[in-house]
A and B are shown apart, each in its own frame.
Chain A
């Protein structure tokens, strides 16, 4: 059974014009997402979080991305979230680290002011 992922208890999310910013309260690191990434972040803020499969399904269904591409994008995106300490469960569903780059998916913005 796939692990359920969710945002860290120390992460806080806000949206503007359909795009989200997630902040890590302890480190000041932040993650800015476009509309696609914001949809994924909303899934991670659900009380039960979301599985990787559900996130991939969301990209495939909503944005028409083919499944291999969606899987790679989600894995890479989760890796970035985890690197910023924003993911409560730092492991991907299959236990490996994701690799690859996102062409036009969610984006990280790096270190915020502190």
Chain B
């Protein structure tokens, strides 16, 4: 008989309870395990989001197409399909059922392709928005800077430069934006940063990168895995890195579409069109309430840190 398990995650102050066969739950959660609730963390009294992981019947698994896609399907009830992984159904009561192929590999595939998009879609409906952004807490206590940027745009390089300058790296890649648009907070997702060749020189001597992921061209640095903060933190603003030759330069305010586009593209993965509309409007309202700067990222961390310090 397969052992069952129940795992409790925390997103913002919200509980997410996941149950199912222990091994399949572990393979489905993957990096979501970093969000597991811990003793002493403040959780709200709202009913938890419930997710049940079940073994998918062969007919429940979309073919393993290339490239793999994850898509929203407007059935009743609606579902999310992930090629080669399984499906997630959103029940009218808000519960999620994740049907995952039983031989899904023990890497991040099931999480990244199915569980995370499904959970993100579910949580958007409760006002918690998954954003792809590095999160750095300013040393002066003024809040957390978010660095939303696509792969290869200098997000990790900027994050590691600021880390050297005394900023606390709370996430290299993503977090959940919670709270009202005029007082946004971020719950950083503490994962080890993935570092490419460009950023290797920014690592401290005792932080050895692991094996390089051939698909991404980056290597994880477990020694720099951020701590899990016990509660969401106030958002100070947004930084948009721009890779440049030379040492870097001063930051410049960014407004309008140039500020909105890098973060607005977060909403397009396997989402209900109506949820997408609400998410876009919320993100625009958040950006209207917080400053956004373009910051040139060159080869001198001191110049970059000074550029940010000048914004205080």
Q: Which residues of A contact B (CB under 8 A)?
A: 9-10, 12-21, 23-28, 30, 32-35, 38, 109, 112-114
Complex formed: what's the CA distance from A96 to B276 in Å?
33
Q: Given the interface contacts A25-B271, A33-B257, does A15 sit within 8 Å of B284 by beta carbon?
A: yes
Residues B29-71 near A (CB distance < 8 A): 71
| Chain B interface, number of residues (Cβ within 8 angstroms) | 28
* CB of B5 closer than 8 Å to a CB of A: no
User: Are B277 and A16 within 8 A (Cβ)?
Assistant: no
> 17 A-B Cβ contacts within 8 A?
A12-B273, A14-B281, A16-B255, A17-B259, A21-B257, A21-B280, A23-B276, A25-B72, A25-B276, A28-B265, A30-B265, A32-B260, A33-B257, A34-B256, A112-B265, A113-B150, A113-B266
For A18, give the chain B residue with the smallest CB separation.
Answer: B256
Q: Ordered nearest first, which 6 A-B pairs have the shortest CB separation? A: A112-B265, A19-B256, A14-B280, A32-B257, A19-B257, A16-B260
User: Are B257 and A10 within 8 A (Cβ)?
Assistant: no
- With a 10 A CB-CB cut-off, give which of A13, A14, A24, A32 has the most chain B CB atoms: A14
Complex formed: what's the CA distance from A70 to B112 in Å?
45
For B267, give the chain A residue with the smallest CB separation.
Answer: A23
Min Cβ gap A106→B in Å is 10
**Beyond A25-B273, A109-B261, 11 extra complex contacts between A and B, CB < 8 Å:** A14-B264, A14-B280, A16-B257, A16-B260, A17-B256, A20-B257, A21-B261, A26-B71, A34-B257, A35-B256, A113-B132
For A11, give the chain B residue with the smallest CB separation.
Answer: B273
Min Cβ gap B274→A in Å is 9
Q: Given the interface contacts A14-B281, A14-B284, A16-B284, does A21 sit within 8 Å of B276 by beta carbon?
A: no
Q: Given the interface contacts A16-B255, A17-B288, A19-B256, does A114 sit within 8 Å of B261 by beta carbon?
A: no
* CB of B312 closer than 8 Å to a CB of A: no
- Proximity bits, B241-266, A CB within 8 Å = 1, else 0: 00000000000000111111100111
Min Cβ gap B285→A in Å is 9
For A109, give the chain B residue with the smallest CB separation.
Answer: B261
User: Are A112 and B271 within 8 A (Cβ)?
Assistant: no
- With a 10 A CB-CB cut-off, give which of B151, B264, B288 has the most chain A CB atoms: B264
For A10, give the chain B residue with the smallest CB separation.
Answer: B273
Q: Of A9, A25, A113, which contacts B151 at CB under 8 A?
A: A113
Min Cβ gap B180→A in Å is 17
* CB of B283 closer than 8 Å to a CB of A: yes
* CB of B208 closer than 8 Å to a CB of A: no
Min Cβ gap A7→B in Å is 12
Q: Given the interface contacts A14-B281, A14-B283, A15-B284, does A23 sit within 8 Å of B264 by beta carbon?
A: yes
For B266, give the chain A residue with the smallest CB separation.
Answer: A113
Q: Given the interface contacts A24-B268, A30-B265, A33-B257, does A12 sit within 8 Å of B277 by beta carbon?
A: yes
Complex formed: what's the CA distance from A35 to B258 in Å?
12
Min Cβ gap A15→B in Å is 6
* CB of B269 closer than 8 Å to a CB of A: yes
User: Are B71 and A114 within 8 A (Cβ)?
Assistant: no
* CB of B119 closer than 8 Å to a CB of A: no
Complex formed: what's the CA distance from A26 to B72 in Å?
9
User: Are A113 and B284 within 8 A (Cβ)?
Assistant: no
Chain A contacts for B265, CB-based, 8 A: 23, 28, 30, 112-114
* CB of B110 closer than 8 Å to a CB of A: no
Chain B contacts for A113, CB-based, 8 A: 132, 150-151, 265-266
Complex formed: what's the CA distance from A10 to B273 in Å?
7
For B148, give the chain A residue with the smallest CB separation.
Answer: A113
Complex formed: what's the CA distance from A17 to B271 in Å?
25
Min Cβ gap A87→B in Å is 16
